[in-house]
Amino acid sequence: MSTPAFDAYRQIVVVNSDRVALELGMKLRDASEESRREAFSGRREAGFFYLYRRDDMHTDSVMEVVVSTDGDAITSVYKNHRAFASGGALIEARMALIKALAEKIGLPPESVGIDDSVRGRALHLQELSTGQLLDLLAEKEGKTLVRTDSYAGNVVGGPD
């Protein structure tokens, strides 16, 4: 049986397009200081992130940049989903996924570390992208979750 968090967010679709990520990232970088501040949100329990979805060219996409206290970050682009409606909605979604994942692992969230060879350290759950949290939860639940979308709009896989 799936956890409520998995069922609530399993329809999140990752957009596999470096071009869209770069274009949205450049728009966020070039935005006013006030706009960048408005895009930043988070809580210690959910992680801290920029949520950028104000773009006329990519109206169906949203960019999430999860930042760590070590100064690195992970950028992901998703199809619009209610989890990305606001910073508060994303905090709620991330907290639910982190809590469910920690329960499946059997440890408190702050005790879970996921090795990341690229960053050369273990990452806390709060440092992972929302898509990574969902993928890890699917793995722990024995579910198949391959929902990605290329820029051309091709969907690969689907919910189990």
Per-residue pLDDT of 55-93, as tens digits, reads: 788 899 999 999 998 889 999 999 999 999 999 999 999
Neighbours of 117 (CB within 10 A): 6
156 pLDDT more than 50: no
Query: What is the structure's pLDDT at 146?
Result: 53
* pTM score: 0.88
Structural domains in the chain (count): 1
Higher pLDDT pick, 142 / 62? 62
Residue 159 lies in a domain: no
Residue 52 lies in a domain: yes
For residues 114-118, average pLDDT: 89
153 pLDDT more than 50: no
Residue 158 lies in a domain: no
46 pLDDT more than 70: yes
Full domain range(s) for residue 122: 4-148
Pairing of strands 40-43, 47-52: antiparallel
Residue 157 lies in a domain: no
Cβ atoms 55, 118 nearer than 8 A: no
113 pLDDT more than 80: yes
Q: How far apart are CA 54 and CA 63, in angstroms?
A: 10
Residue 132 lies in a domain: yes
Q: How far apart are CA 61 and CA 13, in angstroms?
A: 10
Residue 70 lies in a domain: yes
Higher pLDDT pick, 146 / 36? 36
Residue 154 lies in a domain: no
- Quote the percentage of the chain above a pLDDT of 90: 76
